[in-house]
Amino acid sequence: MEKAKVVLIPVPYDGTSTWGKGSDKGPEAFLHASENMETYDIETGTEVYRQGIFLADPVRQDSSPETLVKAVHSTTKEYIKRNKFVTLVGGEHSLSIGSIRAFNECFDDLTVLHIDAHADLRESYDGSKFNHACALYEASQNTNLIQVGIRSMDALENTVLDEEKTFFAHDLAKDDYWADKVIELMTDNVFITFDLDALDPSIMPSTGTPEPGGLFWYETLEFLRQVFEEKNVVGFDLVELCPNPSDKSPDFLAAKLYYKMLSYKFKDEDVADQYDNTFDEGYIQSGNSNKKFNDEDE
Ligand SMILES: [Mn+2]
C-alpha cells in the first residue's frame, strides 16, 4: 500500500440491474483472468505492475443502492487523498455515481469521459436515483460530461443529453477523426468511466445489456492511448462485467483492457519516481465541489 502508485477497488455489486444479472461476479472473474495475463506490455515496452498496484478490500454494501454509492464515494476519496491513482472494477454502473462524485470533489474542472452503449441519463429509474440507468445523470449536471459509443437510450433522455458532447456509435463508424473531436472537448483533468457494453458484443458478450454496433479492440486502445497522452487522466472505473462461466475470453479482455490503461498512464514514468496524482486539497476544503461546470471558466 505504501509503495503502490495504483489502487484497485473491486465493487462486486449488482443490486439494480434490470436484465442480465451477475455483474456482482465481475470483479472476481476479472481478478482471476488477470492472474493468467503476461505482464509485459509489448506496445509501450513496459511492465506497469512494477509501479505497484494495491488491491483494496472490496466495497460490499448490499442494503441499498444509495448506501453502495456512499461507500464507493468515501473509499475512493480516501485513496485519492493518499495520493494514489485510483481505479475501480465493477459491478454495475451505479457505483460510478460514487466514484465520479469523489473525483469531482478532488479535481478542478473535471471532464467525465463516459464510454458506454447506453446514455444512462435518467434522473431516476425504478423509483431510485441510484439505479444503473441513472449512472451519469449527476455528472451531466456538474461535470464536463462527454459520452462516446452511445446506441441505446430513452427519448426522454434527450432533454438531458448534450448533443455537442455526445458521440453516437453510428457516427463513430463513419468518422475517421472522432477521437480528435472528443479530445478537443476535454478539460485537462479527465476521469474515465468505461462500461464494457460499449464494446461490440462479438468481442464482449459478457455484459448485462449487450447492444450491437459497438467499439472494437484496436480503435478503443488507440483512442484511450491518445487520451492518456494528451490529458491528465486522474482515474478510471471499468464496470458491468457479467461473466459467463463457459466463455472466459471476455473476462480476459477486461483484465487486459485495465492493464493497457495503466500501461498508457505510466508509460513515461520511472518506477523509482514519486507519483503525484495532482489532487487539489485546497479545492476540497474550499467547498467548491459539485459546482456546475462552467464553460466560461476556460
Ligand atoms: Mn451500458
Residue ranges covered by each domain of the chain: 6-272
pTM of the model: 0.94
DSSP state of 293: P
pLDDT at 283: 64
User: Ligand 1 centroid to 282 CA: how many Å?
Assistant: 34
Distance from C-alpha of 273 to C-alpha of 181, rounded to nearest angstrom: 33
Distance from C-alpha of 195 to C-alpha of 82, rounded to nearest angstrom: 26
pLDDT at 35: 95
Q: Per-residue pLDDT for 123 more than 50?
A: yes
Say what percent of the chain tops pLDDT 90. Answer: 88
Q: Per-residue pLDDT for 297 more than 50?
A: no
Average pLDDT score over the chain: 93
Phi, psi of 36 (to 5 degrees): -100, 10
User: Ligand 1 centroid to 262 CA: how many Å?
Assistant: 22
User: Ligand 1 centroid to 194 CA: how many Å?
Assistant: 9
Quick one: cell of 177?
A: 477523426
Secondary structure element (H or E) that encloses residue 11, with its range: strand 6-11
Which has more pLDDT, 240 or 17?
Answer: 240
Under a CB-based contact definition with an 8 Å cutoff, are residues 112 and 139 in contact? yes
Q: Provide the CATH topology of domain 6-272.
A: Arginase; Chain A (3.40.800)
User: Ligand 1 centroid to 197 CA: how many Å?
Assistant: 5
Lowest-confidence pick of 14-23, 61-70, 116-125: 14-23
Residue 183 Cα to chain centre, angstroms:
16
Mean pLDDT confidence for 172-177: 96
pLDDT at 148: 98
Give the N- to C-terminal CA distance of the chain in Å, as an integer. 36
Amino acid at 162: D
User: Ligand 1 centroid to 149 CA: how many Å?
Assistant: 10
Under a CB-based contact definition with an 8 Å cutoff, are residues 8 and 24 in contact? no
User: Ligand 1 centroid to 229 CA: how many Å?
Assistant: 26
* pLDDT band of 44, cuts 50, 70, 90: very high
pLDDT at 295: 44
Distance from C-alpha of 129 to C-alpha of 139, rounded to nearest angstrom: 13
* pLDDT band of 18, cuts 50, 70, 90: low
Mean pLDDT confidence for 256-282: 94
Under a CB-based contact definition with an 8 Å cutoff, are residues 169 and 150 in contact? yes
- Provide CB contacts within 8 A for 74, sequence distance 6+: 102
Mean pLDDT confidence for 81-93: 96
User: Ligand 1 centroid to 266 CA: how many Å?
Assistant: 28
Mean pLDDT confidence for 252-261: 98
* pLDDT band of 188, cuts 50, 70, 90: very high
User: Ligand 1 centroid to 54 CA: how many Å?
Assistant: 27
- The residues pairing with 148 across neighbouring beta strands, listed in sequence order, are 115, 167
* pLDDT band of 294, cuts 50, 70, 90: very low
User: Ligand 1 centroid to 178 CA: how many Å?
Assistant: 20
Lowest-confidence pick of 17-31, 180-194, 280-294: 280-294
pLDDT at 292: 45
pLDDT at 284: 59
User: Ligand 1 centroid to 198 CA: how many Å?
Assistant: 7
User: Ligand 1 centroid to 115 CA: how many Å?
Assistant: 8
pLDDT digits (tens, 9 = 90+) for 142-156: 999 999 999 999 999
User: Ligand 1 centroid to 105 CA: how many Å?
Assistant: 24
DSSP characters for 89-132?
EES-TTHHHHHHHHHHHHSTT-EEEEE-SB----S-BTTBTTSG
User: Ligand 1 centroid to 258 CA: how many Å?
Assistant: 17
User: Ligand 1 centroid to 132 CA: how many Å?
Assistant: 8
Category of 287 on φ-ψ map: left (φ > 0), alpha (ψ -120 to 50) or beta: left
pLDDT digits (tens, 9 = 90+) for 203-254: 999 999 999 999 999 999 999 999 999 999 999 999 999 999 999 999 999 9
